[in-house]
Amino acid sequence: MAAGGSTPGTPGTPRVLRAMNDRAVLDLLVAHGPLTRTRIGELTGLSKPTTSQLLGRLEAAGLVHTTGSLSGRPGPNALLYEIDPGAGHVAALSADPTGITALVADITGTVLGTERVEADAIADDVRHRTAQLVAEAVDGALRQAGLGHDDLRAAVIGTPGAIDPHTGQLRYAPHLPGWHSRTLRDDLAAVLGTPVDIENDVNLAAVAEQYEGAAQDHDNYVLTWLDEGVGAAIVLGGTLLRGATGGAGEIGYMPLPGAPLVRRGSQENRDGGGDGGFESLVSAYVVRELGGPGGTLADVMADDGTLGEVARRIATGIAAVVAVVDPELVVLSGSVAQAGGDKLRARVEEELTGLALPRPEIRISELNGDPILTGALRSALTQARDQVFDTA
């Protein structure tokens, strides 16, 4: 028994307080980059001796190292400390109907390798080797990074649909038949050598917006994904709303005026914009068709009349969501939103007037690159840091 009758590791013990201080400093270094001992003390309120002991402890554990010094001030140059990037690595993946993209990054978030494996999700030779395709993508990224499976601390995969927490099966994604095995997570963990999280792709896009995109200053927002598939991520109080079966935000199925009703539990023809619901009004496939054969999304959005029709359809769907969850902000993302840009945003905002009593702000995503991969990377880094930075 420790002094005072507490056991090691319980709240208030020196061990726990040290671990809390360690984590606070590590999080500061992640957020700010290299810092001097003095600056760390200023930001944390820790004394110089405590800060020195802490940094020595973290350096011995391989979590931080010095990276030069800060000159240009009176007295000796001050050493700069930063997170040791080799303290851990993660894999982030995005799966879609035509293939799998993987990247590997170090614990600071620096991407070290990427790989794309092309594979038609509904091909007979693909359905039963999903885990092998995932491994192929990750292995390619690891080779570029000069790493192996043992270096990975976490892996997150973004895919259409959502994992049902009760059954472990992927739902709402009939166009990815190879991903519906009840043992998929175990199969993926076996081939990658690390636990794997399978997350809804639109939810991950919302995570990306919260970290470095249009939703950084909001805890209550909806991301509306307008692409070949249509969906939404609903964030309330800073937390993703998932629903009882993981299906919260599957607004592609949502019945709307002018759209056929979806009366089955799945959509079998996503290539044609879905069988009904909101997706059959605003998917990228349907929007392109509004411009005639061979038209592109850019062509469609260049026509003011067609742009107005697309905005009206989008606003009708958003109004239904807004009436239920009353978000502060709606972020429009995906290829349709990107093609329409600020003109589309303004027209959607105009159309939304009168359709919904709450009046959320409308923004277009300005993230560079693939927001799904960005969200998967952020989620994987959060998991890995919780492991690696835990010094208790």
Tell me: the pLDDT tens digits for 204-263?
A: 999 999 999 999 989 999 999 999 999 999 999 999 999 999 899 999 999 998 888 877
pLDDT, average across residues 338-362: 92
pLDDT, average across residues 154-170: 88
Q: What is the 3-state secondary structure (H, E, C) of 269-316?
A: CHHHCCCCCCHHHHCHHHHHHHCCCCCCHHHHHHCHHHHHHHHHHHHH
pLDDT, average across residues 258-280: 66
* % of the chain beyond a pLDDT of 90: 71
3-state secondary structure of 203: helix
More confident of the two residues 267 and 40: 40
**pLDDT surpassing 60 at residue 273:** no
Task: Tell me which amino acid residue 41 is.
Answer: G
pLDDT at residue 105, rounded to an integer: 98
DSSP state of 6: P
**pLDDT surpassing 60 at residue 338:** yes
pLDDT category of residue 12 using cuts at 50, 70 and 90:
low
Q: Say how far apart CA 214 and CA 305 lie, in whole Å.
A: 27
**pLDDT surpassing 80 at residue 144:** yes
Write down the residue that tokens 């350096």 correspond to.
59
More confident of the two residues 326 and 125: 326
Distance from the Cα of residue 53 to its chain's centroid: 36
pLDDT at residue 2, rounded to an integer: 40
CA angle 318, 324, 327 (to 5 degrees): 65
Total residue length of the chain: 392
Dihedral angle, C-alpha 9, 11, 17, 19, nearest 10 °? 50
Q: Say how far apart CA 388 and CA 275 lie, in whole Å.
A: 46
pLDDT at residue 320, rounded to an integer: 94
Q: What per-residue string of b and e applies to 200-227 under the rule 16 or more CB within 10 Å gives b? A: bbbbbbbbbbbbbbbbeebebbbbbbbb
pLDDT category of residue 174 using cuts at 50, 70 and 90:
confident
pLDDT at residue 227, rounded to an integer: 95
**pLDDT surpassing 80 at residue 340:** yes
pLDDT at residue 293, rounded to an integer: 80
More confident of the two residues 72 and 252: 252
Q: Say how far apart CA 232 and CA 211 lie, in whole Å.
A: 17
pLDDT at residue 264, rounded to an integer: 59
Digit-coded pLDDT (tens) for 300-312: 999 999 999 999 9
pLDDT category of residue 182 using cuts at 50, 70 and 90:
confident
pLDDT at residue 121, rounded to an integer: 67
Please give the mean pLDDT across all residues of the chain.
89
